[in-house]
């Protein structure tokens, strides 16, 4: 028998699930920020099936299953076999897609700080059922399991507190999300140098809440800007405007890619509803006001995670091609295709389907680029990206931006 106990915290609905039938004391939990897990059923022995919840949009379409994060208690020395199910969804109104694949690997941690991918030998894939099964023998009672290394709103608050009094950093609150969380904008530069003498770069992370790699990249970028000699020199000639977390509500509840009202925050940039999508409204307003003050935007990058491929998509401009070349040449970014052609919309003929880079280029002539970074294996690092790899990508991105804008 499995007993469910549901609690309500300020950030999400959470649950504690106790496994019985021969396994007293073994429990699965989602009673913490960013956690997500659906119904659990015991198949036999130490084998458990874990249905993932996913999320659908406001039209009850485009279900995405790209995130799981839970804690197991009483796990020490118990051989566990866990199967993730209910993975199939829909992407851009095309049914059958799934973000958890035969090549994605769960990550484990004993302290929520140090995360490790499970080895290939511990994972199997059922193509017919579209299920991923993994085995583990924890050597401690408590273990956390996630799709990617989690980066929560608490992580962001710690980052902001660390640099609260740094002279190069100015933090602005643009407004509030649907659930009344802060929408910050960071202005990072050497403020003693006139902005007219600098290149201006805007970078956005975490439009989709499951894409935690982009937050780690952003943190690595901020660290390098503020704690290295190279960063100090960059800030004399560059002005950075950073949206560090585009969907804090989704991050807090363990969401996937839709805000509280079911709107994809990297769609709808051509049809913004301020009440239902204040996140997009506030960001787009900040960009317009910047331009209205006669400030330039030399480059705009929105950072994303995807399953299988690193790529850059955007307008056919020298800065975009330079960015692609430098990322390929200097970082773990893997791509052979150059800058991908950017369509006018993700769903032609349907309003509300333009991404941020599509809308900024079409409406404001901003050189805006989508940068996708994969969670499957990367040949350049002979494995999948962990926290240190994401942080290093932040440093590498800065170098690529610098060289592409010369």
**Which domains occur in the chain, in start order?**
2-146 (2.60.40.3120), 153-404 (3.40.630.10)
Average pLDDT over residues 140-148: 98
Q: Indicate the average pLDDT of the chain.
A: 94
Give dist(CA 305, CA 372) in Å, integer: 5
Tokens for 43, please give them. 């198949």
What pTM, to 2 d.p., does this model score? 0.94
For residues 387 and 390, give the distance between their C-alpha atoms in angstroms, rounded to a whole number.
5
DSSP, collapsed to helix, strand or coil, labels residue 230 as helix
* pLDDT 10s digits, 227-241: 999 999 999 999 999
Own/partner contacts of 335-339, CB < 8 Å, gap of 24 or more, are 335/309, 335/310, 335/311, 337/311, 339/312, 339/313, 339/314, 339/369
Q: Give the pairing of strands 123-126 and 80-85.
A: unpaired
Q: How many CB atoms lie within 10 A of CB 401?
A: 24
Which pLDDT value is given to residue 25?
85
For 362, the 3-state DSSP assignment is helix
Q: What is the largest CA-CA distance in the chain?
A: 70
Question: What's the sign of the alpha-carbon dihedral 260, 262, 263, 264?
Answer: positive
Measured between its terminal Cα atoms, the distance across the chain in Å is 64
Tokens read off for 17: 């699930």
Please state, for a pLDDT cut of 70, what percent of the chain lies above it: 94
Which pLDDT score is estimated for 8?
A: 29
pLDDT digits (tens, 9 = 90+) for 322-360: 999 999 999 999 999 999 999 999 999 999 999 999 999
77, pLDDT greater than 90: yes
**Beta-carbon contacts of residue 337 (< 8 Å; ≥ 6 apart):** 311
Comparing C-alpha atoms, which of 59, 54, 71 is closest to residue 18?
Answer: 71
For 111, the 3-state DSSP assignment is coil
Report residue 7's pLDDT band, with 50, 70 and 90 as the boundaries.
very low
Which DSSP string do the residues of 135-157 spell out, in sequence order? EE--SSS-EEEESS----HHHHH
The length of the chain, given as a count of residues: 406
SS3 letters for 263-332?
CECCCCCCCCCCCCCHHHHHHHHHHHHHHHCCCCCCEEEEEEEECCCCEEEECCCHHHHHHHHHHHHHCC
> Which pLDDT does position 2 carry in this prediction?
29
Percent of the chain past pLDDT 90, that is, above it, reads 94
CA angle 20, 24, 26 (to 5 degrees): 90
For residue 179, count CB atoms less than 10 angstroms from its CB and return exposed for 0-12, middle for 13-18, buried for 19 or more. middle
3-state helix, strand, coil split of the chain in percent (to 5) is 25, 30, 45
β-strand pairing of 2-8 with 26-29:
unpaired
Which tokens is 322 given?
Answer: 């330079």
CB 277 within 8 A of CB 261: yes
Residue range 174-203, pLDDT digits in tens: 999 999 999 999 999 999 999 999 999 999
Cα(200)–Cα(398) distance, rounded to whole angstroms? 13
Tokens of 132: 């991923």
pLDDT at 88: 97
Tokens of 153: 């709103």
CA–CA dist 289, 297 (Å, integer): 12
pLDDT at residue number 293: 97
> How many CA atoms, within 13 angstroms, populate the side-chain half-sphere of residue 294?
1
Does residue 133 contact residue 87 with C-beta atoms inside 8 Å? no
Flag whether pLDDT at 122 surpasses 90.
yes
Per-residue confidence (pLDDT) for residue 292, from 0 to 100:
98
Q: Evaluate whether 83 touches 48 at the Cβ level (below 8 Å).
A: yes
pLDDT at 365 > cutoff 80 = yes
> What is the C-alpha separation between 84 and 131, in angstroms, rounded?
6
């Amino acid at each position: 028998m499995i007993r469910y106990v549901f609690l309500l915290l300020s950030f999400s609905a959470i649950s504690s699930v106790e496994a019985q039938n021969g396994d007293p004391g073994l429990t699965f939990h989602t009673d913490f920020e960013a956690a997500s897990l659906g119904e659990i059923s015991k198949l036999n022995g130490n084998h458990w099936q874990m249905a993932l919840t996913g999320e659908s949009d406001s039209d009850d379409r485009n279900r995405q299953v790209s995130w799981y994060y839970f804690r197991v208690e009483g796990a020490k020395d118990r051989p566990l076999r866990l199967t993730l199910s209910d993975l199939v969804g829909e992407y851009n109104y095309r049914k059958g897609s799934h973000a958890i694949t035969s090549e994605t690997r769960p990550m484990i941690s004993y302290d929520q700080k140090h995360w490790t991918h499970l080895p290939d030998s511990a994972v199997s894939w059922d193509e017919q059922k579209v299920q991923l099964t993994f085995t583990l023998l924890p050597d401690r009672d408590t273990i956390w399991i996630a799709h990617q290394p989690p980066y929560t709103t608490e992580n962001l608050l710690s980052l902001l507190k660390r640099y609260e009094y740094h002279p190069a950093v100015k933090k602005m609150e643009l407004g509030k999300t649907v659930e009344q969380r802060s929408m910050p904008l960071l202005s990072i530069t050497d403020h003693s140098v006139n902005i007219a003498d600098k290149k201006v770069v805007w970078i956005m992370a975490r439009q989709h809440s499951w894409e935690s790699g982009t937050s780690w990249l952003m943190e690595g970028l901020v660290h390098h800007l503020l704690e290295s000699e190279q960063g100090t020199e960059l800030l004399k000639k560059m002005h950075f405007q950073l949206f560090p977390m585009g969907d804090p509500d989704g991050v807090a509840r363990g969401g996937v890619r839709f805000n509280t009202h079911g709107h994809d925050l990297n769609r709808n940039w051509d049809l913004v509803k301020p009440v239902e999508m204040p996140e997009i409204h506030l960001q787009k307003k900040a960009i317009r006001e910047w331009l209205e003050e006669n400030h330039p935007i030399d480059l705009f990058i929105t950072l994303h995670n995807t399953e299988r491929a690193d790529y850059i998509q955007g307008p056919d401009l020298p800065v975009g091609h330079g960015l692609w070349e430098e990322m390929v040449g200097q970082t773990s970014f893997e791509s052979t295709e150059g800058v991908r052609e950017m369509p006018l919309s993700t769903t032609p003929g349907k309003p509300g389907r333009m991404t941020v880079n599509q809308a900024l280029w079409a409406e404001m002539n901003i050189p805006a680029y989508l940068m996708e970074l994969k969670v499957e294996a990367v040949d350049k690092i002979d494995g999948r990206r962990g926290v240190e790899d994401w942080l290093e990508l932040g440093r590498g991105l800065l170098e690529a931006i610098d060289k592409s804008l010369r």
